[in-house]
Structure 1
Amino acid sequence: VENKEIHINQLQQQSSSRTEELAKRNEEIQQLEEELEQMRQELSLAQEEYGQSGDKIDDQRTIHYIQKETELQLKEQARLLQEQAQVIVEDLKTLHDAIARNQDQLDEFQGHTLQAQKALCKHVL
């Protein structure tokens, strides 16, 4: 039973670690989204400034490229977070199953203990 408890504790620690990692990744994505929004604002201002010059088309292509690259990075981050979330869900299922098995074993052990106590009482009486 102790080994099972140790294993459950290890799974709980792994789950907590992964949950913390997921939270950190969420913060990173939030920061990237904020940076992307800031870049969009800066690019919008740049478009206004360069709108009067002949470089406008090149600038728009550059802006478009930067936006696409940033969006791809955000999508990759989201995909990685989804994978991590799936691992955490699987870990939680494994933990739940281990707890259920331990509870079954505990119930069985308690049943044997109760039978032994009854037998002892009959023997003593």
Structure 2
Amino acid sequence: MGLRDAFEMIHRAPSSPLGYFRANALNLMRFNHLEALDVCLQGIKNTPKVYPQVFQQCYEAAKTKHETAFALVALLPYETVTLIVGYLRFKDRLNLLGVSNTWRNKLIECPQIWNTLLFSPLKDSR
């Protein structure tokens, strides 16, 4: 609801920084770092010249949070990664390889993830 309101503010007053600030803060709270980065770039482009410096600071903060979030997986013990990822379908495991280089390296270090696959019967599509 809050994000919808923020984007409505941006739609109604694109040169006002308030909607951009609200959308940025809500996206960061929801760990939507990439969306927060996009909102900052829109704010830099669309608001008066006074605000781009503030949006640049917001952009840098969102970028740092985004990079840190992906690096946290590197801190997890091998056993924890194996346990968590072991519950995922093979397709989802493959998708995790594309999250970042950090994730890819950590997952490749865990061969048990790739040795243990659970297969379920195919659903009859008739």
TM (norm. structure 1) is 0.34
Bigger proportion of residues as helix:
1
Of structures 1 and 2, the one with the larger relative CO (CA 8 A, separation 6+) is 1
TM (norm. structure 2) is 0.34
Q: Find the structure with the greater CA-based Rg.
A: 1
